[in-house]
Each structure stands twice: as structure tokens, then as C-alpha cells.
Amino acid sequence: MSKIANSKLALLAIVAVAALAMVAGYMKGHHDGSVGRILQLSPEAQAAKAKMSPVKPLENRDVYYPGTEPLGPDEMRVVALGTGMPSFRPKQAAACFLVELGNGDKFLFDIGQGSASRIAAMKIPMDYLDKVFIGHLHVDHMGDLAALWIGGVKMNRTYPLRVWGPSGTTPEFGTKYAIDGIKRYLNWDATTLKGLMDIRGERLEVTEFDYKGVNQIIYQENGVTIRSIPAIHVMDGSVSFILEWNGLKFAYSSDTFPNKWWIKYTKGVDISVHECFSSPQIMLDKMNYRPEWALNLSAIKHTSPKQFGKIMAMTRPRLAVGYHFFNDHDTLPEQLAGVRATYDGPLAMATDYMVFNVTKDAIRVRMAAIDQEIWPMQPTRAKETTPSMADNFSDFIKGGSEWMPEVLKQIWTAFNERNGTNFEVPSK
């Protein structure tokens, strides 16, 4: 390399270092990283800036951050945690709605597959999530009940899980039979919890009520009344729910064909969540159903958008909420056109994590901002764990264990040093 080239390089280096020093000097007084003189605000501007709150007050937030907004004493919050279809997809879990009340009570209506992780995203200690109302026994309305039952114990629920659901035409089609089946299918799992977890949350209690009951009270505690009305869906044994508290009413259809009970008993409710199934055309175009079956499924087994709109026009809730369809940019216009053909009132077309704050004065609709990396919340009462190191292995299985005492010793020693404990490696 020539001397000239070398001196050019040296000059460049000097210029670069000087530039960096200038930038560093500039930034020193501006830790927010903004650039130099632009921030030399006039005293008036500085005073105005100081008055501006960097964080919007809670009531003005554009999104809902779970775990950060206390409910007002007269307020109801409804969160859509599953708004999709039986076909599973990342964007929408199957049916699940959470209702939270200003008195501290919380209720889950349906718990379809995929909804359990969305329930966890609400950052509510599991002790509060011990009441589930199931409208009918399709998997897209109860598929994650097992996850809430066993997973809830592991995530710190210390109270029994209570489930309400309809009877069937015979005992084998009722909720109690279904829950007994869940207990059988997770017998191994439930047994392994003993000695590991606080198993007070392992109790699973069922209240089965008559699916034919009309406006019958199935729950009444702490100023909250929940009633059931019959629903018409595929075969006998489906119901819808109406929750009433503090002068506010929430109605939830689960799945149903338009029916006289819904029309009679949900008139003027504050928030009316009713299925608005994918239109026959969408079932044909996107789901590839045979034409006659697309019509039958959307408008006979379920309630299609035009029928949903008609029901809302007849019942006039303060807010109509349609769910049970895949809510995408290309399907929503078709769904909406159907609803708007028969209904011109207040409407929200639900998708997962849509949040409704309901008071006597207003109903506010927002989306929740979700923390994907959520960890379990702490229980509301101290855990009663009786850890047992005892195992239940046969000699055959136990004889296969590779004990590796030197590695165990390292683990125990490191743990004890870090935590100031004095545990000893168990003997084989």
C-alpha cells in the first residue's frame, strides 16, 4: 500500500473518530436517544410537554392489557376467548367466553378446544376460574375442559372445578356422563398429581340440570343469577344461558337454531352473544362442503348471518355480538352483508381477544394486547403441598434407572449454594 493511501486511511479514521465523538457528546445530554438540537425546546414547550402524560389513563386506553385494569364496582367485562369453528386454527380457538363482574366473580361459558391458553393469557389466578357453564357437549364447546381441570391444578388452582351442563334424553347423553368419562380418561394423569401438587383443585364437581328448563335458575350466588333456556342444535340436550347481575344482563347462545325461547327471554339484554355461523356460501367456497350440506349446516343446524340479524332485530340488545365463524378479511364482508340485510343495530363481529366493558352508561369494545410469554399466576391461598419422594414404580421399571450420582451431586450442590439450602441427594 502506498504512503498516500495510508495517509488517506489515517485521515478517514480521524474523521470517523471525531464524528463518533461528536455524536456521543450530543447523546450525552439526551438519554432518550433523540437527536441533538431538535430537542432544544423553548421553556413554554418544555412546560407543555411536562403536562402531557406519557401513559394514557386507563379509561382512554385503546387496547386492554390483562391484569392491569380493575373493574368498576358496577362494571361487567366480557372477553371473547374462543370465537371460531370446530376446525382448529391458530387465530381462533373454539367457543369460550369469560364474564368478569365488579363483585370479583368470574364465569366461563363454554371451553372449546384451543381456549385454555387464551384463558391463561387473561392473567387471572386459577382460583378465580373455577366455574364453567357448558351449553352442549360438542368438542368445540368443551374440548379444553380437561386442560382446565388438570392444567388448572398444575397452574395453582386450589379450589374444586365446578361445571354446570345440561342433561340429555338419556343419562349417557348428559353432562355428568361426559365428566365421568373425562375422569376415566385422565385417571392416570390425576393419580400422578398426588404427592406432587396441592390436589384440593383436583375435585371436579358437576351440576347437571334439565335441558328442557325454560328460564330456569341453575345458579344463584353472591347476587348473580344464571338461567338456562333450551336451544335447538342437532339433537335434544343443548341450552343457552342468561346471566343477570346488578341490573346488567349477558346472554350466551352456545349453538342454536333461531328459537322462541331466545327471542322471548333475551329481549333488551345488555350484551347478546349469539352464534352467527359461517354463511352457506362460505361453507361452500372455503370449506368445500356439498351445496345442500352447506345450506343445512349453516342455516338449519346453526344460525346463519341473515338469521342472526333477524334475531337481533327482534330482541334489540344494547350490543349484538356474532361469533362461531372464521373472521378474516375475505369472510367478514360476506358475513356482515348477511347480518346487515336484517339488522341495523349496534354490532360487534367477534374474534379472539375482543373485550367488552359493559356499564349502564356505555359498552366499550376493544382488543386485548396479549403477552405470549405468560407464566402461571400465584394462587389466592397458600398451597398445601405434601411432596412425596416416594415412587410407584415396579422393580422392573426402577431397575432401568441410570442414577448418575456424580451428576445429581453437582445439581444438588449448585442448587444449595445458590439458594442457601441444605438438601441431600436422595438415595437410589
Q: Site residues (CB under 5 A) for Zn ion? A: 138, 140, 255
For residue 373, count CB atoms less than 10 angstroms from its CB and return exposed for 0-12, middle for 13-18, buried for 19 or more: exposed
The three cell numbers locating residue 102 = 365488579
Radius of gyration over every alpha carbon of the chain, rounded to an integer in angstroms: 29
Q: Which is nearer to Zn ion, 143 or 152 (CB)?
A: 143
Detail the DSSP E strand segments found in 103-147: 106-109, 131-133
User: What is the rounded CA–CA span in Å between residue 320 and residue 308?
Assistant: 9
Three-state DSSP class for 29? coil
**Cβ of residue 255: shortest distance to Zn ion, in angstroms?**
4
Beta bridge partners, 394, equal: none
We find the least distance from the C-beta atom of residue 86 to Zn ion, in angstroms, to be 6
Report whether 112 contacts 254 (CB < 8 A).
no
Q: By C-beta, is 234 or 336 nearer to Zn ion? A: 234
Question: Closest CB to Zn ion among 11 and 235?
Answer: 235
Q: How far is the CB of 301 from Zn ion (least distance, A)?
A: 8
Q: How far is the CB of 238 from Zn ion (least distance, A)?
A: 7
Answer whether 133's CB lies under 8 Å from 165's CB.
Answer: yes
Contact assessment for residue 208 and residue 165, using Cβ atoms and an 8 Å cutoff: yes
Shortest distance in whole angstroms from residue 139 CB to Zn ion: 9
For Zn ion, which is the closer residue by CB, 83 or 315? Answer: 83
Coil/strand/helix, residue 40? coil
Contact (CB, 8 A) for 372 and 119: no
Question: Nearest approach, Cβ of 141 to Zn ion (angstroms)?
Answer: 6
Grid cell 342472526 is found at: 308
CB nearer to Zn ion: pick between 126 and 231: 231
Shorter beta-carbon distance to Zn ion: residue 270 or 275:
275
Which stretches of 269-367 are DSSP H helices? 280-285, 291-296, 305-315, 332-340
Instruction: Report the residue number, 255 or 270, with the smaller CB distance to Zn ion.
Output: 255
Planar angle of CA 253, 249, 218, nearest 5 degrees: 65
* Nearer to Zn ion among residue 156 and residue 278 (C-beta): 278
CA atoms of 337 and 350, how far apart (whole Å): 15
